Structures are given as C-alpha cells and as structure tokens.
Amino acid sequence: MAYGLLPEPGTDLGPCLPDCAHVDCKQTREQAESVCRHCGEAIGYDRPFVHDNSPFDPLDAPATFAHSACHEAAFAATEADVRPANARRGAH
C-alpha cells in the first residue's frame, strides 16, 4: 500500500504561512489535523500516512486516515489473530 506525506506549512510544497484561503492549503491543513484511526493522534506533517477506510464502511463514509506505522501494526495484529493455530506455531 502506498503512503503519503503532507509537507510542512511554509515549505515549497506545503500550505502557505500565515494561513491563507487557497483551497489546496485548507485541505492540506484539514488532513494534517485529522486523527489517526488507530492511535487518535493528528496525522500531522512529514509523517507517512495512508487512506484507511475499512471495506465495511458505508460508501458515503468520510475519508479516514492512519499513520503508516499504526496501520501496519494493526494489520499485523489482525493477521496474527486470523491465522490457524498450526500456522502460528510454524507447523505445516
């Protein structure tokens, strides 16, 4: 799965400083302020994140995001829970 990074405000590719009315700058700030689906912290800037809607979410559900590390940890935990017991022990 590919991840994204939001550039820091005031950098060449980041939102303007001070805050402006540009649509793309506003959307970047809103996305950075959104909370990780797994840890509850802000997605922030210059930190890998993924689009993390569940396949069980309604089609019109708002977009959710997760830090890449949080998403990978949650996926690994889920994968460990669903593997058969003999596969967890390394038996074939």
pLDDT at 5: 94
DSSP annotation string for the chain:
---B-PPPTTSSSS--SS----HHHHHHHHHHHSBBTTT-SB--SSS-EEE---TTS-TTPPP-EEEHHHHHHHHHHHHHHHS-HHHHTT--
- Average pLDDT rounded to a whole number, residues 14-41: 94
The pLDDT of residue 85 is above 60? no
Give domain limits for the chain. 1-53+65-92
Instruction: Give the contacts of 66 (CB within 8 A, at least 6 positions apart).
Output: 36, 37, 38, 49, 50, 52, 74
pTM above 0.75, yes or no: no
Convert the pLDDT of each residue in 31-73 to its tens digit.
999 999 899 999 999 999 998 777 777 777 777 899 999 999 9
- Binned at pLDDT 50, 70 and 90, residue 25 comes out as very high
